[in-house]
Amino acid sequence: MLTFFKNLSLSRTAWLFLAFVAFVLEATGLYFQHGMGLQPCVMCVYERLAIFGLVIAGLLGAIAPRFAFFRWIALALWGFSAIKGLLLAIKHTDYQLNPSPWNQCEFKPDFPQTMPFDQWFPSIFAPGPVNCSQSQWEMLGWGMPQWLILAFGLFSLFFVLVLISQFKKSRPQYRSVFR
């Protein structure tokens, strides 16, 4: 199994698939915002940025997956984005399932001054006047943060499998006409 994941990490197609799946999630969030008129909260914006990190990780890995430098940078970004997104989605779910005056998110995103994403890309990263404890959408009884726990959990699981597989030694493939 580890050999399978090691070979996947060496293929450009797998990295592009990671970028594509994350891009579909990002596009779905933007459709909810601009197509359906649902305003994102601050936690939604943070989760959206984590998904964007997965898109970038997939594209970085696709540049040159056989070169360890690009692969390890992409793996680091993939792991950070997936795990940080999972923690954000869990916290967002806590805000929705346990609403209280002392368990609320900020009103404004707390991006570093050197990277004010909400000012650079307001149509993507600027939150609306929505409290994080409000649930605006549900499918099969789950809200958006609960679905994101599933998505980020899967991204994290596959990251761990691919990370462990990087330490597996690859055997050279000798081709012999006599075997």
Q: Which of 12, 66, 71, 132 is catalytic?
A: 132
Q: Identify whether 171 is a catalytic site residue.
A: no
Q: Which of 12, 41, 66, 71 is catalytic?
A: 41
Q: Which of 66, 105, 171, 179 is catalytic?
A: 105
Q: Identify whether 44 is a catalytic site residue.
A: yes
Task: Say if CB 48 and CB 34 are below 8 A apart.
Answer: no
Q: Identify whether 12 is a catalytic site residue.
A: no
CA gap 90, 149 in Å, rounded: 6
Residue at 11: amino acid letter: S
CA gap 178, 24 in Å, rounded: 47
Q: Which of 48, 66, 71, 171 is catalytic?
A: 48
Task: Say if CB 122 and CB 129 are below 8 A apart.
Answer: no
Which residues are catalytic, by number? 41, 44, 48, 105, 132
